[in-house]
C-alpha cells in the first residue's frame, strides 16, 4: 500500500513547492507542511491499546472547544474552497476562542475538496497555522452523515431563511455512498489528507465519521423532504465502509488518535453491555482509539453516561453538546466534565450562515420574517462578537482557567 500512498502525497508537496507565484505567507505554509511530513516512508499504524490512549490523554489539558464553522461559510465546502476560504474571519473568530480559553475545535472536511488536493492541502495547512497561533489544536472530521445528501462543489446556495443548518452537506453524498466504484476516490481522499498531516502536532485527533447512522428523518429523510437513501440501505452501506475508513487512516500513518462518536442516547446499563450496542456502535467503540460521544440532554444524564463509558477503559471526549432548548448548557455540564476530565466540544461558535442558533424543529416551523427563538439553540457569540450570554462566558473561563 505504501507505493500507492506516498507518491500521491509527495506529488502534492512537490506541486506546492513549485508554485512560483506563491506569496511569502503561502510559501511558509508549504514549508511548514514539508517539515511536518519529512519522513521518507509511511509506516502504517495500529489500533491504539487502551494503555497508549490513556498515556496520550494524560498529557492533554482539559479540552474545551466548539464545533467550528466560520460565520461566512454555510458548510464544509464553503469553508475550504478556494473562492470562499476566509482566513481573515477565521483568525478573528479563533482569537475570540483563545480569549475564553478554548484549546480545541472540531472541524469538518469533505471528500469533494480532494478534487483540488493541492489547493485544499495548502488551505488546510493555513487553517492549522491560524489555529496554532491561537493555541488551538483541532479534531478533524473526515465524513459526515448529517443534512443534505446531495453535495456539489462550487458556489453554495444562500441560507434558507429561518431554518437550522439549511446548507450543510453530507460527505460522501448519497450518490457516492451507493456507488462502490467511487470508493477508490474516497480511499484516495482519506489516505491523502491523513497522510499529508500524519505527523502534524497541530492536529488533536481524526474523527472518521460524524453520526454515521443518522438518517435525517425530520429534514431530508422520510418525515420531510424524502431525498435521503432508504434508512436500512444507508446504514448497511456505512457499516461496510466505516471499518475501511479506519483502516485507510491507519495505513496512511496517522500518529494522532482516531475516533467516531456514538450519538444516540442509551441508558448507562446499555453502554456497559456490548450486547445492547447497535452494529454501528460496535464498530465505533471497537475501532476507536479514544471514545467520543454526543450528549444533548440534561446534566444528570451526563453524570450517568460518563461512568458508563468509562468502563471501556479509554479517554472520553464529548464532541457535541450545548443545546439550550434541551437543557444542555455550559454552566451545568462543564463543571461535571472538568471534574472527570472529559473533553467538551459544544456545537456552534459564532452565529452565521449555518443558522444553528435556530432549533432543530425549525425545519417544521421556520423562523421567518426576522423572528428569532426566545432562547438561542446553539452558538457562543453573535456575529458582532458579543456573547449570546455573558454568564456562559464566565462559566467557560472558569472551566478553562482563563
CA distances from 95 to 131, 380, 390 (A): 9, 13, 17
C-alpha cell, 196: 499529508
Average pLDDT, the chain: 92
As a whole number of angstroms, the distance between CA 204 and CA 265 comes to: 25
State pLDDT tens for residues 97-127. Answer: 999 999 999 999 999 999 999 999 999 999 9
Domain coordinates of the chain in residue numbers? 2-400
Q: Mean pLDDT for each 10-residue chunk of the chain (402 residues)? A: 37 39 42 47 94 98 98 98 98 98 98 98 98 98 98 98 98 98 98 98 98 97 97 98 98 98 90 94 98 97 96 97 97 98 98 98 94 95 97 98 94
pLDDT computed for residue 325 by the predictor: 95
At 297-324, the pLDDT tens digits run 999 999 999 999 999 999 999 999 999 9
Going through 51-156 in order, the beta strands assigned E by DSSP cover 64-67, 104-108, 139-144
Is there a contact between 209 and 234 (Cβ–Cβ < 8 Å)?
no
Please name the fold of domain 2-400.
Answer: TIM Barrel (3.20.20)
Strand residue runs (E) in 68-213: 104-108, 139-144, 205-210
Q: Cell for 328? A: 444542555
The pLDDT, as a whole number, for residue 268 is 87
CA 237 vs. chain centroid, Å, equals: 21
Helix axes 24-36, 2-17, angle to 10 degrees: 160
| pTM for this predicted structure | 0.91
Note the residue count of the chain.
402
CA distance 204 to 257: 8
Amino acid at each position: 500500500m505504501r507505493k500507492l500512498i506516498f507518491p500521491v502525497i509527495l506529488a502534492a508537496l512537490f506541486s506546492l513547492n513549485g508554485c512560483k507565484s506563491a506569496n511569502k505567507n503561502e510559501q511558509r505554509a508549504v514549508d511548514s507542511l514539508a517539515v511536518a511530513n519529512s519522513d521518507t516512508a509511511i509506516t502504517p499504524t495500529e489500533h491504539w491499546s487502551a494503555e497508549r490512549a490513556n498515556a496520550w490523554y494524560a498529557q492533554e489539558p482539559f479540552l474545551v472547544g466548539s464545533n467550528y464553522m466560520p460565520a461566512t461559510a454555510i458548510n464544509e465546502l464553503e469553508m475550504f474552497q478556494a473562492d470562499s476560504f476566509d482566513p481573515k474571519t477565521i483568525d478573528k473568530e479563533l482569537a475570540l476562542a483563545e480569549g475564553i480559553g478554548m484549546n480545541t475545535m472540531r472541524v469538518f472536511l469533505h471528500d469533494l475538496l480532494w478534487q483540488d488536493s493541492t489547493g485544499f492541502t495548502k488551505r488546510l495547512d493555513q487553517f492549522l497555522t491560524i489555529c496554532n497561533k491561537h493555541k488551538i489544536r483541532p479534531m478533524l472530521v473526515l465524513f459526515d452523515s448529517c443534512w443534505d445528501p446531495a453535495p456539489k462543489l462550487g458556489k453554495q446556495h444562500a441560507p434558507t431563511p429561518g431554518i437550522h443548518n439549511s446548507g450543510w452537506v453530507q460527505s460522501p453524498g448519497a450518490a457516492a455512498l451507493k456507488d462502490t466504484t467511487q470508493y477508490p476516490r474516497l480511499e484516495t481522499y482519506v489516505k491523502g489528507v491523513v497522510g499529508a498531516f500524519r505527523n502534524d502536532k497541530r492536529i488533536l485527533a481524526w474523527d472518521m465519521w460524524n453520526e454515521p447512522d443518522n438518517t435525517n428523518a425530520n429534514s431530508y429523510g422520510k418525515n420531510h423532504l424524502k431525498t435521503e437513501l432508504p434508512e436500512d440501505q444507508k446504514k448497511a452501506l456505512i457499516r461496510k465502509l466505516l471499518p475501511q475508513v479506519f483502516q485507510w487512516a491507519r495505513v496512511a500513518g496517522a500518529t494522532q488518535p482516531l475516533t467516531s462518536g456514538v450519538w444516540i442516547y442509551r441508558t448507562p446499563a446499555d453502554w456497559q453491555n456490548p450486547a445492547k450496542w447497535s452494529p454501528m456502535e460496535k464498530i465505533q467503540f471497537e475501532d476507536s482509539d479514544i471514545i467520543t460521544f454526543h450528549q444533548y440532554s440534561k446534566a444528570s444524564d451526563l453524570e450517568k453516561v460518563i461512568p458508563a463509558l468509562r468502563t471501556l477503559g479509554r479517554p472520553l471526549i464529548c464532541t457535541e453538546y450545548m443545546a439550550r432548548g434541551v437543557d444542555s448548557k455550559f454552566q451545568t455540564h462543564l463543571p461535571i466534565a472538568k471534574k472527570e476530565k472529559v473533553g467538551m466540544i459544544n456545537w456552534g461558535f459564532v452565529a452565521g450562515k449555518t443558522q444553528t442558533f435556530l432549533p432543530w424543529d425549525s425545519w417544521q416551523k421556520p423562523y421567518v420574517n426576522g423572528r428569532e427563538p426566545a432562547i438561542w439553540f446553539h452558538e457562543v457569540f453573535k456575529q458582532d462578537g458579543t456573547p449570546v450570554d455573558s454568564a456562559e462566558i464566565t462559566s467557560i473561563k472558569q472551566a478553562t482557567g482563563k
